[in-house]
Amino acid sequence: MNIILGISAYYHDSAAALLIDGSIVAVAQEERFTRKKHDPSFPRQAIRYVLQEAGLNGEDVAYVAFYEKPFIKFERLLETYHTFAPRGIQSFVKAIPVWIKEKLYMKRILSEELLKLGIRAKLLFPEHHLSHAASAFYPSPFAKAAILTVDGVGEWATTTIARGEEENIRLLRELHFPHSLGLLYSAFTYYCGFRVNSGEYKLMGLAPYGQASLRAENFIRLIREQLIDIREDGSFLLNMAYFDYATGLRMTNNRKWESLFGVPPRKPESELDQVYIDMAYAVQNVTGEVLLNLVATARQLSGCTNLVMAGGVALNCVANGLIERSNLFNNYWIQPAAGDEGGALGAALAVRYIYLKEKRVTEKPDSMSGAYLGPSFPEKAIENMIRKNAAVALRLENEALYRQVASLLSEGRIIGWFQGRMEFGPRALGNRSILADPRNTGMQKKLNMDIKFRESFRPFAPSVLEEEASQYFDLKTPSPYMLKVASLLPACRLPLPPGYDALPYRDKLYQERSPLQAVTHVDFSARIQTVSRQSNPAFYALLDAFRKQTGCSVLVNTSFNVRGEPIVCSPEDAYHCFMSTGMDYLVIGNYLFDKSRQPHENKKGMPAAYSD
């Protein structure tokens, strides 16, 4: 057997991936085991899991692939400080001791950590963007494809265009730090009061509330004129006088941004004024424009009719919808774990196909197994959890379970749904999900305030039977990984009142606009997951049972976690999350838990609902 372990670590979202003879056997993020969101530490528990999943020991591993080259990253750090000197002395003094003490000795540190797990394999270091490119191309169903990777920064590259063919990846063009679309988006994330590397989703969800605003259109003009010089081929230059991330301790030069936009940076957790909403709309618009130009250039340079994407910016579902609707390519595929966690998988794949030159065989619809690549738990583990917590549960056979849960959902109940193998990547895809009825007009608010404890403006995604998606959404192709935004069909929309676009965001939020109110964003868009019988039989059966009872093939699907915590991994995690929120029922495997029947001492105090 050819066994390759891929790892990403020491920045954010560390992960481990295991390949056996080219098959993706298991992949998981360290955060799911440590319960520290975006955990950057060495993925010790994730490695233990992937080896256990395969029934292997550390000595069975032949190669370990780390997802980037630390020495080149250090070179970039030094050259950047030299270029901008004397600016950045504070950042230099803070960063360099860490690099000298730890990161320059990354190979030794990794070897020591691996040795603790009994792994003495050859250690290899693909470049960061090659790891992204490999994660996008090799699991895709295409023998040939253009590859676009866009993120904050790897070693030097921030954007690359490549061509993949069979086992080979050939770089065609790249853009270097400090000019970064990902860091431009993160700068706005920071300025609007959200946390960089996690709040970008919030900015994307906030953007539609600024639609048709004259101020938002003016902000678009200011961004184009002052912050970014966009070229026709998608390349661009950022005006670094406005940014501090290259050498400073902040993302932006706050004084210059305040002068440009007329507003200071928003304090985290403070009142959300319309001006920041308009900024979110503006940067989302510019991001989409740049990406469309990049996609057009990728088509021209590669000569391919298929496109694959990875890197953190590939998780921008709104832009992905724009790209697909552009018809620049015939077929598209996006790595479901497009961020740094996916780099662990990409690094392992790069070693197999580029370093070892193994033969590649494509699979349809892809080789990601629906992204269900994390741990599962046998019925005995569920029963042990029940005994440990003195929990009360009813065991039902499959069909009875699906009927009962569908009935509860139709009555407005909110249900934690825990089945099979945990998803890899940031999306819950029906195995670690919180589910609800999308027709319920109060459900979006209830889920945000009583279950997720997060900002009220955040939208929720619909999961829909794949063959019935076209009855609700303007969606050309399946979206199994919840990576595309599409519009609700006109027939599924309700008329809006005069002056709707000028309403404050809270009034827009609670305006009834669709029979699927809980999953319809303020601009009639939705981030869609299509579910097939092949990809997830249990979730498909539940959706089908709900359809038979209600005539509706759609459910609200949000990740099984609360604000600030990773998605649940184990039955124990699921039960404690269930008991500390306003969920009504929990399903783990074939066991149904009714909140009202659980022992009182298990009910933890619920956090105060978040208010923006």
Report how far apart, in Å, the C-alpha atoms of 503 and of each of 208, 275, 500 are. Answer: 12, 13, 5
The two three-digit tokens of residue 467, written as one number:
């063959």
Q: Which residue has the higher pLDDT, 153 or 607?
A: 153
Beta bridge partners of 124: 65
What tens digit of pLDDT does each residue of 558-593 get? Answer: 999 999 999 999 999 999 999 999 999 999 999 999
pLDDT average, residue stretch 372-385: 98
- Residue 411 to residue 409: CA distance in whole angstroms: 5
Cβ atoms within 10 Å of 269's Cβ, excluding its own: 12
pLDDT at 102 over 70: no
Q: Are 589 and 379 in contact (CB under 8 A)?
A: yes
- At residue 4, the pLDDT reads 98
- Residue 570 to residue 385: CA distance in whole angstroms: 10
With a CB cutoff of 8 Å and minimum separation 6, the contacts of 61 are 3, 4, 5, 51, 119, 121
Which residue type occupies 312?
A: G
Helix 398-410 vs helix 537-550: crossing angle, to nearest 10 = 50
The two three-digit tokens of residue 388, written as one number:
């440990």
Burial environment of residue 55 by CB neighbours within 10 A (0 to 12, 13 to 18, 19 or more): exposed
Beta bridge partners of 463: 529, 555
The two three-digit tokens of residue 323, written as one number:
């790209």
pLDDT average, residue stretch 109-129: 96
DSSP 460-498: -EEEEEGGGGGGTB--SS--TTS-EEEEBPGGG-PPPPT
CATH number assigned to the domain covering 142-334: 3.30.420.40
**Among the listed residues 273, 92, 242, the one whose alpha carbon sits nearest the alpha carbon of residue 178:** 242
Burial environment of residue 579 by CB neighbours within 10 A (0 to 12, 13 to 18, 19 or more): buried
pLDDT at 610 over 90: no
Q: Are 588 and 384 in contact (CB under 8 A)?
A: no
- Residue 22 to residue 348: CA distance in whole angstroms: 9
- At residue 18, the pLDDT reads 98
**Among the listed residues 455, 453, 442, 414, the one whose alpha carbon sits nearest the alpha carbon of residue 205:** 455
Report how far apart, in Å, the C-alpha atoms of 548 and of each of 36, 437, 473 are. Answer: 40, 14, 20
**In b/e form, how buried is each residue of 77-113, taking b as 16+ CB within 10 angstroms?**
beebbeebeeebeebbeebeeebeeebeebeebbeeb
Q: Within the chain, which residue ranges are assigned CATH 3.30.420.40?
A: 3-139+338-367, 142-334
Residue 582: HSE in the Cβ half-sphere, 13 Å Cα cutoff: 16
Residue 140: HSE in the Cβ half-sphere, 13 Å Cα cutoff: 29
- At residue 606, the pLDDT reads 46
pLDDT average, residue stretch 375-392: 97
Residue 175: HSE in the Cβ half-sphere, 13 Å Cα cutoff: 26
pLDDT average, residue stretch 597-610: 62
pLDDT bracket for residue 70 (50, 70, 90) = confident
- Token look-up 């999350």 returns 577
- Residue 182 to residue 179: CA distance in whole angstroms: 9
Q: Whole-number mean pLDDT of the chain?
A: 93
Q: Rg of the chain over CA atoms, in angstroms?
A: 24
Q: Are 40 and 73 in contact (CB under 8 A)?
A: no
Is the domain spanning 379-602 CATH 3.90.870.20? The answer is yes
What tens digit of pLDDT does each residue of 424-463 get? Answer: 999 999 999 999 999 999 999 999 989 998 888 899 999 9
pLDDT at 611 over 70: no
Q: Are 206 and 194 in contact (CB under 8 A)?
A: no
pLDDT at 288 over 50: yes
Cβ atoms within 10 Å of 575's Cβ, excluding its own: 25
% of the chain exceeding 70 in pLDDT: 93
The two three-digit tokens of residue 325, written as one number:
């609707």
SS3 558: strand
What tens digit of pLDDT does each residue of 487-528 get? Answer: 999 999 999 998 888 888 888 888 999 999 999 999 999 999
What tens digit of pLDDT does each residue of 394-408 get? Answer: 999 999 999 999 999
What tens digit of pLDDT does each residue of 42-69 get? Answer: 999 999 999 999 999 999 999 999 999 8
Q: Within the chain, which residue ranges are assigned CATH 3.90.870.20?
A: 379-602
- Residue 431 to residue 424: CA distance in whole angstroms: 11
pLDDT average, residue stretch 351-365: 96
- Pairing outcome for strands 394-395 and 525-531: unpaired
Structure letter (DSSP) for residue 530: E
Beta bridge partners of 554: 464
- At residue 608, the pLDDT reads 38
pLDDT at 117 over 60: yes
Query: pTM value?
Result: 0.94
- Residue 100 to residue 117: CA distance in whole angstroms: 25
pLDDT average, residue stretch 234-251: 90
pLDDT at 386 over 50: yes
Beta bridge partners of 164: 145, 169
pLDDT at 275 over 70: yes
Q: Which CATH code, of 1.10.10.410, 3.30.70.20, 3.40.50.1820, 3.30.420.40, is assigned to 3-139+338-367?
A: 3.30.420.40
pLDDT bracket for residue 83 (50, 70, 90) = low
Q: Are 136 and 313 in contact (CB under 8 A)?
A: no
Q: What is the largest CA-CA distance in the chain?
A: 70
